[in-house]
């Protein structure tokens, strides 16, 4: 059966809320803001620094000079894991380790951070993508911003950042349907969309049980 779920989403689609609903309903661990905390703990930096680089792609110049900067720091007697050397690549690498460990332990819902790519070959992980009509996304974004801020610009910028993160570190197209088991519109509402995901977990487990009954130790779907 599915032991973990990854939820990726367009900015403003409500994907994080849906992920939270699924986790709460199932009694599973939610890795969203909690993932930032775990990365910060592992890297021994503040959550503010991790948030700055969350799903962030470093500039080409920083990536080009990354090795040189670390070598120069070591020669100067500065620890290379110092906060000033924490960057998007470091964040992605640590996130991969935490995501893999969480999926191995099971009973978790992981939001974004390339989890659908990290765990793509794991048969017991359900991958979900949440989208929404443009007007709904703009309305949600506006509720999060101060009056007069550019909601549409924020949506475009965040979506580009997420797509660039996945392409840079995983060589995948963020919206490629082949990365996901389900692609759902949040227009159904947080609870209804959440229950579709929960039902998929339950139904898949039932189908696996039936398959084992029919063909012995075979675990493939029929």
Segments making up each domain of the chain, as ranges = 4-213
Q: Residue 13, SS3?
A: coil
What is residue 185's three-state secondary structure? Answer: strand
Query: pLDDT band at 91, cuts 50/70/90?
Result: confident
Class of domain 4-213: alpha beta
Residue 148, CB-side half-sphere exposure with 13 Å CA sphere:
0
The pLDDT of 141-170, averaged and rounded, is 88
Question: Which tens digits make up the pLDDT trace of 92-147?
Answer: 888 888 899 999 999 999 998 899 999 999 999 999 999 999 999 999 999 888 77
Lookup result for tokens 């060589």: 171
Cβ-proximal residues to 2 (8 Å cutoff; 6+ apart), any chain = 124, 125, 126, 200, 201, 204, 205
Neighbours of 61 (CB within 10 A): 8
Contacts with 202 (C-beta within 8 Å, 6 or more apart), sequence order = none
Q: How many CB atoms lie within 10 A of CB 26?
A: 18
Q: Can you read off the two tokens belonging to residue 26?
A: 């199932």
Place of tokens 């995983």: 170
Residue 183, both tokens: 């692609």
In tens, the pLDDT along 164-191 reads 889 988 999 999 999 999 999 999 999 9
């Amino acid at each position: 059966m599915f032991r973990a779920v990854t939820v990726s989403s367009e900015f403003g689609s409500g994907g994080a809320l849906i992920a939270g609903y699924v986790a709460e309903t199932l009694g599973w661990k939610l890795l969203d803001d909690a993932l930032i905390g775990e990365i910060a703990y592992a890297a021994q930096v503040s959550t503010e620094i991790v948030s700055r680089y969350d799903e962030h792609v470093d500039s080409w110049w920083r990536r080009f000079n990354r090795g040189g900067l670390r070598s120069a720091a070591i020669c100067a007697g500065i620890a290379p894991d110092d906060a000033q050397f924490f960057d998007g690549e470091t964040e992605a690498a640590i996130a991969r380790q935490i995501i893999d460990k969480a999926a191995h332990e099971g009973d978790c819902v992981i939001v974004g951070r390339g989890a659908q790519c990290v765990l793509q070959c794991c048969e017991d992980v359900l991958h979900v993508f949440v989208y929404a009509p443009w007007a709904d996304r703009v309305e949600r974004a506006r509720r999060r911003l101060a009056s007069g801020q550019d909601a549409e610009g924020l949506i475009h910028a965040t979506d580009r950042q997420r797509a660039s993160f996945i392409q840079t570190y995983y060589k995948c197209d963020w919206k490629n349907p082949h990365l996901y088991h389900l692609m759902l519109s949040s227009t159904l509402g947080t609870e209804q969309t959440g229950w579709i995901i929960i039902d998929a977990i339950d139904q898949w487990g039932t189908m696996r049980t039936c398959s084992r009954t029919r063909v012995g130790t075979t675990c493939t779907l029929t």
